[in-house]
Structure formats: structure tokens, C-alpha cells
Chain A
Amino acid sequence: MDISVAPKEKVTPARSWFRSDATQRLLAFGALIILIIFFSAASPNFLQFNNLVGILLATAVNGVLALGVTFVIITGGIDLSIGTVMTFSAVMTGVFITFWGLPVPVGLVGGILTGALAGVINGTIIAKMKIPPFISTLGMMYVAKGLSLVISGLKPIYFNDTPEFRPITMGSALGSVFPNVEFLQIPNAVFILFGAAIIASLILTKTILGRYTFALGSNEEATRLSGVNVDRWKIAVYTLCGTFAGLGGVMMASRLNSAQPALGQGYELDAIAAVVIGGTSLSGGEGTIQGTIIGAFVMSVLVNGLRILSVPQEWQTVVTGGIIIVAVYLDILRRRKG
């Protein structure tokens, strides 16, 4: 951020429309709509029900990871470990259910808690040992990756003995109530994503944890001087982020009906990209859950649409990168104005 030329206080009380939070969501939302219109016009397959379900499913895991890291980014931090922590949680779920034969619900909770534990460790290292988030979570990224490989013995763990595991995300509770209505056959994963988003949004806007998330990112020293136990809340934020990564891991395992120990690295960057496209500032202090969800959809619509248009994989990656830069630049322009 360009500190030296940051505009001084507003003299006019009304914030210009370009700057307002509502508009920010509108901008990202507008971009999403434009992408959808573009791809629908370019290919008749895009709006097919199956394709739309594909997009929703593809967004589910990345979206859940992005929800968690939104909190961390609003505090002005970063969490690079969520991708491999997700994998580690999936592997541990496999250990609990397939290796140890624990009941599925216990395995699910265990998987999510695995992510939470990684978050506690991240938060403690950052808050107590004062190691910058970038470094400590980078370390955790490798640790989680390595542990996944060690524990799984480099091989995928399958959930073949527990047929009820896969439908947790891939089944459709809604669809089974209305078996004859095609457009209601939406997989549970999508509802899990939206449920998680609603919870995340409530935490961020209505609870004390959300308030301190913004306060930490806005001015950590002032927060400390106000008598807030900054370390404790920082740990809480990273724990929350880890919990979402754990949830993502369980969802991933269920969807693939297996824990794939080699998967995961790179997911953290997709999640961070979604958050940033959604208008959350990497310098901390501002951000919304709605924005993150929209950002996650921008990413998956883009990938899906380009694939439908038969754009080669390599070029999809190039375009995605360009879109991220454009999205963030628009956001910077928005901030500079007004």
C-alpha cells in the first residue's frame, strides 16, 4: 500500500459510491455475472445443470478454505499451511475411520479437530514466539505435507468399508426428499459450503472474535493498549482458520472417497486468491465473507468456463493469474478514489 501518499481524512462526510463496501461487493459480483454471461453466450454447455453442479462442487472445498483464511487475512496475517493441513486432516480422517475403525461421525470430528490443532500451533508460534505468519505457516505447510506422507505411507487411504462416508458430501439430502425434481439434486457439499459461510459471516460480524479480528488488522498496538489480550485472540483466529481447513479436508476425503496424501499444496493460493478477489485487503482491517464467497465462485467459474471452451490447461492458469491481478488492481483503484 502506498502509505506516503495515502489521502488524508475525508472532508465531505459522504463516502463516494465507488468506495463504499456495498459497491465493493457489487464490483466482484458484477465481475462474476459478466463471466457467467460471457461463458453462457460462448458455449451452450455452460448453463447445463450438470455443469453448474460441477462448478458448485468445485467451489465447495476451495470456498471453505477461503472462509477460514479470510479471518487471518483481515488480521493482517497470512496462512500458507491451509492446503496441506487440509490434506493432513483428510489423512487423519482416513486413519480414524479406515485404520482404527472408529465410527464415521467420530472420524469426521477427529479430522476437523486435526485442522484446528494445526491452527492452534500456527497461532501460538505467531503470537508467542513472534515469528511472522508468512514464515511460521510456511513451516507448517511443509510439516503437514510431510506428516501426511509419513502417516499414509505415501499411499491413498480409501474409505471402502464405510459406504456412508462418500454421500456426506456427494449425496443429496434435498434431492432425496424430492427424487423427481432434477434441479434439486444438489450435492450436500454445496450446502455445507453455504452453511459454513453463514456461520463464518455471523462470527465475523456479530461476535467478539470477529470484532477483534478487525481490530488486530486495523491497529494491533492500539488493540493491545486497549487492554485486549492480543496473543490469545490471534491464536483463536488461526485456530478458526485451521478448523475450516480441517472441514475442507474432511469434505475432500468424502468427495474422493479417499485421502490423497500428495494432494493439497497449491490449494492455499487458490483460497487466498479468492479472498483477495473478494475485496479483502492483504494489509488488514477490512473484508467480508460475502466477498470471499463471490471470489471463490469467480475462480471456479473461470476455470470451468475456460475448460468448456477447450482452452488448454496451461492457458487456463495464465488467464487465472491475469484475472487475479486485474481484480486486485480494481480494488486498489477503488481505495485510491474518493
Chain B
Amino acid sequence: MSELLVVMEGIEKSFPGVHALSQSRFELRPGEVHALVGENGAGKSTMMKILAGVYSKDAGRILLKGREVDIPNPRAAQHLGISMIHQELNLMPHLTIAQNIFIGREPRRGVKFVLDDAAINAQTRQFLDMLHLNLDPRTKVADLTVAKQQMVEIAKALSFNAEVLIMDEPTAALTESEIDELFRIIRKLRDQGVGIVYITHRLEELFTISDRVTVMRDGQYVGTVKTSDTTRDEVIRMMVGRTIYETAPDILERPEQDIVLEVKNLNRGRVLKNVNFYLKRGEILGFAGLMGAGRTEVARAIIAADPVDSIEVYVQGKRAHIHTPSDAVRYGIGYLSEDRKRYGLTLGMDVETNIVLASFRKFLGALGVVKRSKTRATAEHFVKMLAIRTPSLQQKVKNLSGGNQQKLVIAKWLTADTDILIFDEPTRGIDVGAKSEIYKLLNDLAHQGKSIIMISSELPEILRMSHRIIVMCEGRITGELSAAEATQEKIMTYATQRGGIIQTTESAPTLSQVGTA
């Protein structure tokens, strides 16, 4: 057995009202990829943030190459050779790629305070080349897609030449080719002796990339196994402490025939071209396609979150005039954003408020006073139904784990009780157990006569849940498939059917998440 790079033992951490970690442990060898898995809120991010100096531990020891170390802040972690890619993007959108990568350790020219931007641009180009990323280091981060921003985060973490590299769900927003690129880099680093901690909810990835797996549950260490000695089911059992049924609830009940939503003649510059489709009552309509195919843009156009060149929306057969997102809610259309942190939640407010926020009017009594008992009951109901892990309804949302925030967005729109629900990547960052809960929920909603558009980059999810599938490529609808005829291959064919459109400078997108479930 090689010498241990990192040992964390007896780690304790409490937040007000939450015992996030108790007697937790973790170890990392040089030259290994060590996966860390567990349900939403199990304490994975907290554990690694302690190692990266973001949080301080209440008790326990951290040994780095056998020597006990104190890591009071991120800077100290950097000096010890520990770098972390956070679950949520942590970039400065107004700065360029190069400025982001070198923030905090800018090379200076001559005088101590003068920046050398030429140097950081040149070095950044090297890091980007290493990742086969064809981007100009002087591009502002705000102008990049979420996937490219994630790649910039990765480039930044690599640029530290760290010995310990922590990746907290790095692939959540990446396309398949970018994931391949990431795995290639990870293997290269591993061969150079870097120890890599890899947090993910995509269990397939474990078997592709990791050497060992550590499972956490409820802030405690459950166990560590060699990846080659274990199975997916075994890992799941360790995670949830029981067997869960991963097989889908079989849906495929015919939806009714009346059309509740129809979109015609939707155009937006080079982003969307002549998009037309309809949605029937009780139907789950899957939107498949590559990252950047324009699926999110369609949703945002319907609720008028972005300006478009032309669009006609018909709700229950009548022309709907939607000029703002709140108009959309009045027409009974709810949109669950893929980027919960930016658009989906009010992070500084508590769980209860966030759940009722989109439907406050329902909770008003005489004189416009909010009926607290009613809001509390509703919030309690959804917290229970979706198994949202929170110490109380008064917890600030920013203190919830990433996956629990995602569940909260869903609760919010279920409360709003809109007839048409657009789910954009509803299971991103959600653990296996909760995933099947969400599938069941979507199914129930459709049974109750709600109509659902589900945008997802995970093909198996689309195939398993949809009554009908629309495939997009480069801003056009290139195909429509019924559940019966749809296969991964057919969807892929449509998803790569380019229509002789001028390419943007972004590298050609590739099909994401094929083969994940």
C-alpha cells in the first residue's frame, strides 16, 4: 500500500440546527481517483470544504503526508497543494477567462502592483490547450455557456498543479465530449501521482473513472471499497441503507387528445429557427438534443424571459399574450430553471418562503395578510413529500445542500399548481433515491391531468419518462418520435442533423450523457 496523501479522521462539523458531520473520515492515496458518494445532504461537500479551507472543522484531525495540518482558509489550502472545484460555479462573470484563472496570484511586472496581463493570457492559453478548449483567454466569462464556464473552473483548478484535487460534481453541466476530455485529464494527473477526490451522483462515472469509492450517509462514514470489487447496487445499498427500486414506474398511458399548449412560429436570431410544437393534456413531452441545441431557449421564450423575433403561444386553444414571466404564471405555465441558483430560488430567504413565493396570492387572507398556518402546512407537505433535508422550514436556502435546493425548486412550482410545467434538467445533481421519487412525481402529475415538458440531457431519462419526444439541433426541431418508436440511436440521428447552418465559434456540440441512467 502506498503512503497516504490525506487522512481526515474524527471530523465533526455542526451548523446551527444541523449536525452535518459526525465522526466522519476519509483517506486519499497519491495517484488514485477516490470517489465520494452519498445522498443529497450526506455531507460530501462539507467534508471536502473542510479540506479546502472553506469551513473550519469543530473537531478531528487532518494529516497531509503524515503530518497534521491546520487549514484555516482557502489560501492556506492552496499553499498546501490542495485545490477544489466547487459544486456551484465560482467565477467572476465580469472578468476574463485568464483573469479568473489567475485571481489571487497574478504575476506582476516590475513594480509590485502592476499586472502583467500578457503573461496570464499566454499561460492561460496553455491550460486551455491542455483541455483542448478552443477559447480566447480574453473572453469574458459571462459570455460563455455554463458548460464552458465549468471547463474554465477545471482549468483553474489544474493551474495550481495541486497534489490534491477535489472535484465536487464537475460533470453536472458538461457535454459528453467535455466529460471525455475531463476523464482524460484526470487519468493523466493520476498517473503523475496526483490524488483526486471525485464527488458525483452519476454512479456510472464511478466505474469509468474511480479506483476506490467512499460512501457517506447522514454525515457519517459508511465505508470504503475498491471500485473493481463492487457493484452499482452495492454502492446504492451503502448510500441509502436499503434497497431501492430503480426501475421506472411504467407510464405510457395514452394522454388525452386535447391540446393545452401550442407554440408556433418561434424565431430568435440564430438561436431558434421556426420552432412549432404542441403539448397535450396529461402528456409528458421530452425535449432531447445536444447541449446548446436551443431547448432551454425554447422554454425561456415561452415564458418571455428572453426577447424573441416572433412567437405565437396558444393556451387551451386561445392566443396567449405573454410579455413577462409573471404573465406566464397567470396563464398556468411554470418553468423550473436548470440554473436554480441564478433563476430558481431566493437564496437568502427561508425554505417556507421559497416554497410559497410563486403563489403568494393563494395564501392571502383578508386585508392581504399572509396566512402563516396555511403557508406552513403547504411547506411541510412538500418538504415531506420530496424528502427535502432541512433542519426547519426557517432554514435559509443557501445553507441547504445542492441537491436539496433542486428539490425545493420543484416544490415551489408544485405549490404554484400550474397546469403546464416545464422542467429543465429536473434531476441534475439529485441522488438516486430522490431521482426515482421525482420520476414518480412527474408521472403522478401527468395522471392528474397536468401537462409536462421535460428538457433533459440524459437520454435514458427521456426515453423512460416521455410519451412523445421532440429532438432539437442547432435551434431547429429536427425530429419527433413517439415513445414506442424512440431509441437512443434514432434520437442521436436527429440530434446531429445539422441544417446547413452557419456554425458559431463554439466547438461543435456532441451528444451528452448517452448511456447514463
Interface residues of A (CB under 8 A from B): 3-13, 15, 206-211, 214-215, 217-219, 221-229, 285-286, 337
Contacts and interface: CB of A to CB of B under 8 A. Distances in A.
Contacts of B95: 211, 214-215, 218
Contacts of B343: 3-4, 6
B114 A206 contact: yes
Nearest to A229: B75
B271 interface: yes
A3 B342 contact: yes
Contacts of B90: 219, 221-222, 225-226
B514 to A, nearest CB: 23
11 contacts: A5-B305, A9-B142, A11-B292, A13-B143, A13-B506, A206-B114, A208-B114, A217-B94, A219-B92, A223-B104, A285-B93
Given A218-B92, A221-B90, A222-B90, A228 B104 contact: yes
A218 B94 contact: yes
B16 interface: no
A66 to B, nearest CB: 20
A134 to B, nearest CB: 16
B485 to A, nearest CB: 31
B103 interface: yes
B92 A222 contact: yes
Contact of B91 (A5, A9, A222, A229): A222
A5 B339 CA distance: 12
A15 B505 CA distance: 13
Nearest to A212: B103
B108 interface: yes
A9 B146 contact: yes
B15 interface: no
B99 A211 contact: yes
A214 B297 CA distance: 30
A227 B104 contact: yes
Contacts of B271: 11-12
Nearest to B112: A208
Contacts of A285: 92-94
B270 A12 contact: yes
A208 B306 contact: no
A210 B75 CA distance: 20
B74 A224 contact: yes
A48 B218 CA distance: 78
Nearest to B156: A226
Given A218-B94, A221-B90, A286-B94, A9 B342 contact: no
Nearest to B343: A4
Interface in B6-24: none
Nearest to A210: B115
A3 B270 CA distance: 24
Contacts of A208: 106, 108, 113-115
A224 B74 CA distance: 8
Contacts of A215: 92, 95, 99, 103
Contacts of A5: 304-306, 324-325
B372 to A, nearest CB: 25
A225 B86 contact: yes
A207 B300 CA distance: 40
Contacts of B305: 4-5, 7
Contacts of A4: 305, 325, 343
A219 B143 CA distance: 15
A234 B86 CA distance: 24
B270 A8 contact: no
B482 interface: no
Given A8-B306, A8-B339, A226-B103, 20 more contacts: A5-B305, A8-B297, A15-B143, A209-B113, A211-B95, A211-B103, A214-B94, A214-B95, A215-B95, A215-B103, A218-B95, A219-B91, A221-B90, A223-B104, A227-B75, A227-B77, A227-B78, A227-B104, A228-B103, A285-B94
A205 to B, nearest CB: 9
B275 to A, nearest CB: 14
Contacts of B306: 5, 7-8
A222 B343 CA distance: 18
Contacts of A13: 143, 504-506
A299 B399 CA distance: 45
A209 to B, nearest CB: 7
Contact of A207 (B113, B142, B146, B325): B113
B105 interface: yes
A229 B72 CA distance: 12
A3 to B, nearest CB: 7
Contact of A9 (B114, B143, B304): B143
Contacts of B78: 227
B54 interface: yes
Nearest to B78: A227
B130 to A, nearest CB: 20
A210, A215, A337 interface centre (most CB from chain B within 10 Å): A215
B499 to A, nearest CB: 16
B504 A219 contact: no
Contacts of A8: 296-297, 300, 306, 339
A223 B266 CA distance: 40
Contact of A6 (B113, B144, B324, B342): B342
A9 B92 contact: no
Given A11-B504, A15-B143, A226-B103, A219 B93 contact: yes
A9 B144 contact: yes
B74, B94, B269, B506 interface centre (most CB from chain A within 10 Å): B94
Given A7-B306, A222-B91, A211 B115 contact: yes
Given A209-B113, A215-B95, A225-B90, A9 B103 contact: no
A207 B107 CA distance: 11
B145 A9 contact: yes
A211 B145 contact: no
A215 B306 CA distance: 27
A214 B270 CA distance: 32
Given A5-B325, A225-B86, A214 B92 contact: yes
Interface in B255-304: 269-271, 292, 296-297, 300, 304
Contact of B106 (A7, A211, A337): A211
Nearest to B75: A227
Contact of A227 (B86, B99, B105): B105
Contacts of A207: 113-115
A218 B93 contact: yes
B113 A225 contact: no
Given A10-B143, A207-B114, A219-B92, A225 B270 contact: no
B507 to A, nearest CB: 12
B258 to A, nearest CB: 30
Nearest to B136: A13
Nearest to A281: B94
Nearest to A219: B92
Contacts of A206: 114-115
Nearest to B344: A4
Contacts of A227: 73-75, 77-78, 104-105
A1 to B, nearest CB: 12
